[in-house]
Amino acid sequence: MKFDEVTSATIDALEKRTEDELSSLETLEAAAQRFCDILYTTFEESTVLVRVFASVPFAALPATNRAFVENLVGARAKEVLHPKTPVLSLLGTRGGMPRWNSRHLSEGHVGIPLASADFVDAIPMIASLVKQLGLAIERAQDVETAIVTQSLGRMAGVFYVDDAATAVDSKGRRIIGSREFVQEHGVRTVFGFGGAYGLTGTFVVAVLFTRDSVGRGQAERFMRLANQLKTSTMKPVTRRHIFAS
């Protein structure tokens, strides 16, 4: 199916499939991977890559993920990384290349620490995603509380990049930074949807890299899936069963 063919009935069916296939899974990682599989197989004709990320406290990351994040931050690791620092962590991935079908094979997106407003702003795609989903992070000390309290909260939000090859942020930076990835795989529109799990402080977002030009209105249809994704994964998130053993 192509994205311009999506109707309310399409979303109804995806909601039902999400509920049926995710609700019994024991970890958020397992559910995120299944959700990526559902979206990719449904829209394989139009989709290059689907990924699901969730915010996870630094202290709750597997050792390999913590090491990746520390290396990413570099010399400032001890200064900016604390046990509760939220890390936007890759939990599910599915795409047209074999290396895109396991989070363990990711080389650059294992985890992105939301360590401070400045650190977030230094990564154009993440800065745009956080802003569009409704998280207002102005100061470093806002990061932790913003994840819980801002308007992302009970509703769902949409991240939208009309043309991955040309779209720039307010500072003139390309939002989708990897030009090679965009050109090689013909990426056009990138969109995502996500929301927060109430008072747990965790938020989840699915991001789709498409080879079609998808209108904002079509992308916004997927907001309903954000709420279904949260509902279907509330049990493992509440129990803090994030990563598969």
Pair type for strands 111-113 and 86-95: antiparallel
Rounded to an integer, the average pLDDT of 109-113 is 86
Q: What pLDDT does 157 receive? A: 72
Residue 71, Cβ density class (10 Å: 0-12 exposed, 13-18 middle, ≥19 buried):
exposed
Of 42, 40, 46, 14, the closest CA to residue 94 belongs to 40
pTM of the model: 0.87
DSSP string, 17-76: HHHHHHTT-SSHHHHHHHHHHHHHHHSTTTEEEEEEEEEEEGGGS-HHHHHHHHHHHGGG
Which of 21-35, 106-120, 201-215 bottoms out in mean pLDDT, i.e. has the lowest? 106-120
Query: What are 47-65's pLDDT values in tens digits?
Result: 999 999 998 999 999 999 9
Assess if CATH 2.40.170.20 describes domain 3-238: no
Cα separation of 54 and 63, whole Å? Answer: 17
Contact 18, 35 (CB under 8 A): yes
Of 31-40, 139-148, 203-212, which one has max mean pLDDT?
A: 31-40
Does residue 237 register a pLDDT over 70? Answer: yes
Contact 9, 18 (CB under 8 A): no
